[in-house]
């Protein structure tokens, strides 16, 4: 039986990475944070409708894991909380914001909205609105990589709410039996919508579920982007080399409600503040400051730039055209 | 021309397409070592090996979704469900993902996948294993749905379905796998979206699909003895629907009976009957009749289960109704 690995190390040595790499991670996280803040604001102004699930607090997960990938051959799929992943693979803030606005210039031509960010070229295969439905699909993408012999791996992100779905269990079993290079990442933010994990789960540590399929599992710190990156590097290399699946319980936290309509009254301010002390952006910034890889001024510049990009994406979305009515008949059949 | 059973026609289609295109693979319950629950895939594991003929656990949601993922990543899966009754567990992946991947991605992705297996009433199987699901599936834009009832159509449509860049649902029938028919020796395709006149006639159009085709043809034989000449139009494809073929026939005969082994409410049959009523209103000499299954779950008792379904007698009675013959 595969033995689960211990809870992740803390990355204490950012200096082994060059400034450019660390700055890249920082910028990606800042861009997501400022983008999501702008999205929340636009939602308040009713520029964005429907469900809108924000990624604030979880930035390290998408950024650190995508940094460990080779998107020429690897793929990612995620849930409806997908803006961060879209930006992490390099989709432009403009195309994501325009999609939120439902404009024709959006990545999915205004057909998908918040829950359905796609970029086939960058191997971002969605944004799925049904809890856990991306898990079998990601398993199939990994199957295709193995079938074609590309050495590609597939990262499949989902929340702790999805882990009780039959789709999760059926997929892990198939991935194990057919030895597929799929890495299942539970973005464990403690709440399935408004329901605390402990109220609906028989276990606290989801990585133990890997044992049921005889695959390796691991608990990963989701607030420290560097340690997450290091963990994912190892796991991805193993999945690629040995063509086998992994299950990662990534401990993270979302600062906002489940969606824009959720005031998150099921948790205390104190709990939220406690998590904000290990904010992934501030953690990385502090380490870079300590190691003199960034100054306060430089950080402020990067942050201002992130705010500018977010604002520019709103301007772009505002200026973009609505889809013409006849486009409703397009993109249904190939 | 060889006379072969529908199950063999389907196997020929799979074999030819798997030889033609390496990205085509078959997976499902019992398709490999067991040679298929209904022996459609007999011998394919030996020919193509376990990479391309995959036995799955009985977990329809998981392996169907896996197929959808493989399809958007460049393969052409054929997913066999042991029965459409089990496929209900997989419908989330069919309806929410296969049918919508292209749309939700703004046209970036395509999902070339075939979902197939036996559908419709069988025998002595009671309520959970004897039901027709076509209306559930044709309802969904983004899917194509085909329902052949001859060996020729089964082979030609399955080959077209495998080559199609969209998700195609193929409804087969347990009761019809052994039905034989002529299939050409040379390669051919049956296009998706084209109905076929299985028998020409001038007095009434019988619109049918799937295994009740046989009943419709038998009814037409009986009616011919009474000098009533029925045209039998086999829809073959349910989505897209060959509306022109339907209207052309009804404009010729001015009378129409629709036969569908589904329940009557919101069915393919009721939809076709509505289309004919709307689009051939001035051409019709009588109301459109629908011969469907009774609006009840299928009973186990054989006398009851036969009485639930369409029959030659029910079709003849409906024809006489639209001809105003007592």
Report pLDDT for A15: 59
Q: What angle do CA A306, A310, A316 make, to 5 degrees?
A: 140
CB A47 within 8 A of CB A101: yes
Contact B172, B6 (CB under 8 A): yes
Q: Any alpha helices (H) in A2-117, and if so which ranges?
A: 19-44, 59-67, 83-88, 93-100
- What is this model's ipTM? 0.95
Q: Which of A128, A170, A182, A324 should be substituted to probe chain B, the one whose Cβ sees the most B Cβ atoms within 10 Å?
A: A170
Helix (H), strand (E) at residue A280:
helix A280-290
Q: Tell me how far apart the alpha carbons of residues B242 and B196 are, in angstroms, rounded to a whole number.
A: 9
What is d(CA B129, CA B116) in angstroms, rounded to the nearest whole number? 16
CA-to-CA distance for A327 and B130, rounded, in angstroms? Answer: 40
Task: Verify cis geometry, omega within 30 degrees of 0, for the bond prior to B134.
Answer: no
Closest CA to B94 of B66, B59, B130: B66
Residues of A in contact with B96 (CB under 8 A): 129-130, 133
Calculate the alpha carbon distances from B110 to A326, A329, B23, B101, B227 in Å. 20, 16, 14, 7, 51
Task: Tell me the chain A residues in contact with residue B93 when contact means C-beta distances shorter than 8 Å.
Answer: 133, 136-137
Identify which of A112, A130, A141 has the shortest CB distance to residue B69. A141
Return the CATH number of the domain spanning residue range B196-322. 3.40.50.920
What local confidence, expressed as pLDDT, does residue A6 receive?
A: 57
Q: According to the model, what pLDDT value does residue B326 have?
A: 86
How buried is residue A151: exposed, middle or buried, by Cβ count under 10 Å (0-12/13-18/19+)? middle
Facing residues of B181 across strands?
B4
Q: What is the pLDDT of residue A264?
A: 87
Q: What are A1-28's pLDDT values in tens digits?
A: 455 665 555 555 555 899 999 999 999 9
Query: Which DSSP symbol is given to A74?
Result: -
> CA–CA distance from A215 to each of A73, A232, B27 (Å)?
23, 16, 23
Of A108, A130, A148, the CB nearest to B74: A148
The residue from B17, B29, B129, B305 that is catalytic is: B129
- Do B166 and A166 lie within an 8 Å CB cutoff? no
B142 contact residues in A (CB cutoff 8 A): 332-333
* Of B66, B92, B104, Cβ closest to residue A111: B104
Q: DSSP characters for A176-226?
A: HHTT--EEEEEEE-SEETTEEHHHH-S-S-GGGGGGGGT--EEEEESS-HH
Q: Do A334 and B65 touch (CB under 8 A)?
A: no
Instruction: Choose among A167, A247, A109: nearest CA to B102.
Output: A109
Closest CA to A89 of A55, A115, A123: A123
Q: Which residues of A touch B92 (CB under 8 A)?
A: 130, 133, 167
Cβ of B59 within 8 Å of Cβ of A174? The answer is yes
Domain locations along chain A: 1-59+73-125+296-313
What does the pLDDT read at residue A4?
66
Alpha carbon distance B132, B260 (integer Å): 9
Q: What predicted TM-score, i.e. pTM, was given to this entire model?
A: 0.95
A285: closest CA of chain B, how far (Å)? 35
Nearest Cα to A34, choosing from A330, A305, A317? A305
Q: What is the DSSP letter of A232?
A: H
Cβ distance of B104 and A118 shorter than 8 Å: yes
Per-residue pLDDT in tens (0 to 9) along chain A, 334 residues? 455 665 555 555 555 899 999 999 999 999 999 999 999 999 999 999 999 999 999 999 999 999 999 999 999 999 999 999 999 999 999 999 999 999 999 999 999 999 999 999 999 999 999 999 999 999 999 999 999 999 999 999 999 999 999 999 999 999 999 999 999 999 999 888 989 888 999 998 999 999 999 999 999 999 999 999 999 999 999 999 999 999 999 999 999 888 888 888 888 888 888 888 899 999 999 999 999 999 999 999 999 999 999 999 999 999 999 999 999 999 999 9
Q: Among all residues of chain B, which has the CA nearest to that of A113?
A: B104
CA A272 to mean position of chain CA atoms: 20
- Suggest the residue from A135, A137, A182 to mutate for an interface test with chain B (most B CBs closer than 10 A): A137
Give mean pLDDT in consecutive 10-residue pieces for chain B, a chain of 326 residues. 97 98 98 96 98 98 98 98 96 98 98 98 95 97 98 98 98 97 98 98 98 98 98 98 98 98 98 98 98 98 97 98 96
* CB-CB contact of B299 with B292 (8 Å): no
Q: Across-strand partners of A217?
A: A247
The C-alpha atoms of residue A80 and residue A126 are separated, in whole angstroms, by: 8
In sequence order, the 6+-apart residues with CB closer than 8 A to the CB of B104 are A108, A111, A112, A116, A118, A126, A127
Contact by Cβ (8 Å): A293, A22: yes
CATH of domain A1-59+73-125+296-313: 3.40.50.970
Domain B2-183 is classified in which CATH homologous superfamily?
Thiamin diphosphate (ThDP)-binding fold, Pyr/PP domains (3.40.50.970)
Three-class HEC string of A40-59: HHHHHCCCCCCCCCCCCCCH
Is B139 among the catalytic positions?
no
- Cα four-point dihedral sign A185, A188, A192, A197: positive
B264 at A interface, C-beta within 8 A: no
- Chains A, B: CB contacts under 8 A, how many? 150
pLDDT at A10: 59
| Contact (CB, 8 A) for A220 and A250 | yes
Let me know if B289 is a catalytic residue. no
Distance between CA atoms of residues A194 and A190, nearest Å = 9
pLDDT at A265: 87
B window 66-125, beta carbon within 8 A of A:
66-75, 77, 92-93, 96-97, 101-112
Quick: pLDDT tens for A127-174: 999 999 999 999 999 999 999 999 999 999 999 999 999 999 999 999
Chain region(s) in chain B for CATH 3.40.50.920: 196-322
Question: Among positive and negative, which fits the CA dihedral B27, B33, B39, B44?
Answer: positive
Q: Which phi and psi (to 5°) does residue A192 adopt? A: -95, 100
Per residue, the 3-state secondary structure of chain B, as one string, reads CEEEEHHHHHHHHHHHHHHHCCCEEEEECCCCCCCCCCCCCCCHHHHHCCCCEEECCCCHHHHHHHHHHHHHCCCEEEEECCCHHHHHHHHHHHHHHHCCHHHHCCCCCCCCCEEEEECECCCCCCCCCCECCHHHHHCCCCCEEECCCCHHHHHHHHHHHHHCCCCEEEEECHHHCCCEEEECCCCCCCCCCCCEEEECCCCEEEEECCCHHHHHHHHHHHHHHCCCCEEEEECCEEECCCHHHHHHHHHHHCCEEEECCCCCCCCHHHHHHHHHHHHCCCCCCCCCEEECCCCCCCCCCHHHHHHHCCCHHHHHHHHHHHCCCC
| Chain region(s) in chain B for CATH 3.40.50.970 | 2-183
CB count within 10 Å of CB B49 equals: 10
Nearest Cα to A63, choosing from A310, A292, A280, A327?
A280
């Amino acid at each position: 039986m595969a033995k689960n690995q211990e809870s992740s190390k803390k990355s204490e040595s950012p200096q082994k990475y060059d400034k450019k790499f660390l700055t890249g991670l920082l910028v990606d996280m800042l861009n997501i944070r400022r983008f999501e803040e702008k999205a929340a604001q636009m939602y308040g102004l009713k520029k964005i409708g429907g469900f809108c699930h924000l990624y604030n607090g979880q930035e390290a997960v998408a950024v650190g894991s995508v940094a460990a990938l080779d998107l020429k051959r690897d793929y990612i799929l995620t849930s409806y909380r997908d803006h961060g992943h879209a930006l992490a693979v390099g989709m432009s803030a403009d195309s994501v914001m325009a999609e939120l606005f439902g404009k024709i210039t959006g990545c999915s031509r205004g057909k998908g909205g918040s829950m359905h960010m796609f970029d086939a070229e960058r191997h971002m295969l969605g944004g799925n609105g049904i809890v856990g439905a991306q898990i079998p699909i990601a398993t199939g993408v990994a199957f295709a990589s193995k079938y074609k012999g590309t050495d590609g791996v597939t990262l499949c992100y989902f929340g702790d709410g999805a882990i009780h779905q039959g789709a999760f269990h059926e997929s892990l079993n198939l991935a194990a039996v057919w030895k597929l290079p799929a890495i299942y990442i539970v973005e464990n933010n403690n709440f399935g919508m408004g329901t605390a994990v402990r109220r609906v789960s028989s276990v606290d540590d989801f990585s133990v579920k890997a044992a049921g399929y005889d695959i390796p599992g691991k608990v990963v710190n989701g607030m420290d982007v560097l340690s997450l990156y290091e963990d994912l590097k190892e796991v991805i290399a193993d999945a690629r080399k040995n063509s086998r699946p992994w299950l990662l319980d990534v401990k993270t936290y979302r600062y906002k409600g489940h969606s824009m309509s959720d005031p998150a009254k099921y948790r205390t301010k104190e709990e939220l503040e406690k998590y904000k002390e290990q904010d992934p952006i501030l953690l990385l910034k502090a380490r870079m400051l300590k190691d003199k890889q960034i100054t306060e001024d430089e950080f402020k510049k990067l942050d201002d730039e992130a705010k500018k990009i977010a604002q520019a994406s709103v301007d772009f979305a505002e200026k973009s055209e609505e889809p013409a009515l006849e486009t409703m008949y397009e993109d249904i059949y190939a | 021309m060889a006379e072969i059973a529908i199950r063999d026609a389907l196997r020929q289609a799979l074999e030819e397409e798997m030889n033609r295109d390496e990205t085509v693979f078959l997976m499902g319950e019992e398709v490999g070592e067991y040679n298929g629950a209904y022996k459609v895939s007999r011998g394919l594991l030996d020919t193509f090996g376990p990479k391309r003929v995959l036995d799955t656990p009985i977990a329809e949601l998981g392996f169907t979704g896996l197929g959808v993922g493989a399809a958007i990543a460049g393969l052409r899966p054929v997913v066999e469900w042991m029965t459409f009754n089990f496929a209900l567990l997989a419908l989330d992946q069919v309806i929410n993902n296969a049918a919508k991947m292209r749309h939700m991605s703004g046209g970036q992705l395509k999902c070339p996948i075939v979902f197939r297996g036996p559908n419709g009433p069988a025998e002595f199987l009671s309520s959970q294993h004897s039901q027709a699901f076509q209306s559930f599936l044709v309802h969904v834009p983004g899917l194509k749905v085909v329902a052949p009832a001859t060996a020729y159509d089964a082979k030609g449509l399955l080959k077209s379905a495998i080559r199609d860049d969209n998700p195609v649902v193929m409804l087969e029938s347990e009761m019809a796998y052994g039905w034989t028919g002529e299939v050409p020796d040379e390669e051919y395709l049956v296009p998706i979206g084209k109905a076929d006149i299985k028998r020409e006639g001038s007095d009434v159009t019988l619109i049918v699909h799937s295994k009740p085709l046989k009943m419709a043809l038998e009814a037409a034989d009986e009616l011919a003895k009474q000098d009533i000449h029925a045209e039998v139009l086999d829809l073959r494809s349910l989505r897209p629907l060959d509306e022109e073929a339907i209207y052309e026939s009804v404009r010729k005969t001015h009378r129409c009976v629709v036969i569908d082994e589904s329940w009557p409410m919101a069915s393919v049959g009721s939809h076709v009957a509505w289309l004919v009523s709307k689009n051939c209103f001035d051409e019709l000499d009588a109301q459109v009749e629908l011969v469907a299954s009774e609006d009840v779950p299928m009973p186990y008792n054989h006398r009851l289960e036969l009485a639930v379904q369409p029959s030659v007698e029910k079709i003849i009675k409906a024809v006489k109704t639209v001809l105003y013959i007592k």
